[in-house]
Copies of this chain bind each other. A is one copy, B any other.
Amino acid sequence: MTQEVFLTRDERPLSEPAEAAGVGIRQRQKAARPGQIIEAAFAEFAEKGYAAARLEDVARRIGITKGTIYHYFPGKEDLFKAMVMAHLLPLIDGLKAIAGDEGTGGVTLLRLLLERAWHDMVGNEKSREFVRLLVGEASRVPELAQFFQRELTSRAEELIAAVIERGVATGEFHAEAAKRLAGFPDAIMAPAVMACFQAVLISGAGMPLPDIVAMKEAHLHLLLNGLLVRP
C-alpha cells in the first residue's frame, strides 16, 4: 500500500487529450497545449516559487519555446492564476459533492470530509506542493487570495459547520463543543494541513514519509474523543 492510496477519484491529468476522434494530430496537440503548459507551469512554480520560476523552463519542460506560451496566456501572472484555478476547481467540486451528500450521521459526514481533505492536501506529492505554493504565494496575488477565500475556505467552513450541526442534531456531537467550534471550524481540518507541511518538509529533507493512513486515523480519533479519560 503506497502513499498515493488516496487517488480514488478523477486523477485525470490537466492536459487530457480530450478524446478527439477524427481530428488530426495537430488539432489534438493544439487542444492539449494549455493543459500541458499549466502542468509544466505548476511544476516550475512549485519548485522555484512564482518570482524565481522562468517561463523558458516552463516551455522547455514540454518541448516548446517561450513564445508559444504567449499564444495561450497573456503573461506570467495570468499563467499562474490559470494554473491555480485549474487546481482549485476540482477541490471546490469535491466540496460541493459532499455538501450535496444528504448523508446520515455527523460522524459519517465528518469522516467523508476528512477523507476528502486528506486526499486533496496530503494524498500525493502534487497536492502537497500545491497547498504549499498557495500558502506561500497566494497572498501576493490578492485576486487569487480572495477567490480562494470566497470559493474554498468559506465554503469549507460552512460545510464543517453543517456537519457539526448535523452531529448535534443526531445527538452524536456535544452541543457545547459545537458552539465553541463555531468561531474556529478550521480547527477540524488543521491536522490535515499540518500533515501536508510535515510531508513537504520531510520529503524535502529526503527522509521517508510517515504512515499517512495512520495519521488520518489519529486525526479522526482525536477530533471525536479528545485526549481526556472519560470520567
Contacts and interface: CB of A to CB of B under 8 A. Distances in A.
Given A201-B145, A204-B139, A227 B228 contact: no
Interface residue SS majority, chain A: helix
22 contacts: A50-B51, A110-B227, A136-B137, A138-B201, A142-B204, A142-B205, A145-B201, A145-B204, A149-B201, A180-B218, A181-B222, A186-B194, A187-B190, A187-B215, A188-B222, A190-B190, A190-B194, A193-B193, A222-B223, A223-B226, A224-B226, A224-B227
A106 B226 CA distance: 13
A135 interface: yes
B173 A227 contact: yes
A225 B222 contact: no
Interface string A198-217: 10111011000011001101
A123 interface: no
A20 interface: no
Nearest to A216: B184
A195 B201 contact: no
Interface of A: 48-52, 106, 110, 132, 135-140, 142, 145-146, 148-149, 153, 164, 167, 171-174, 177-178, 180-181, 183-184, 186-191, 193-195, 197-198, 200-202, 204-205, 210-211, 214-215, 217-219, 221-231
A195 B184 contact: yes
Nearest to A163: B227
Given A194-B193, A226-B224, A139 B148 contact: no
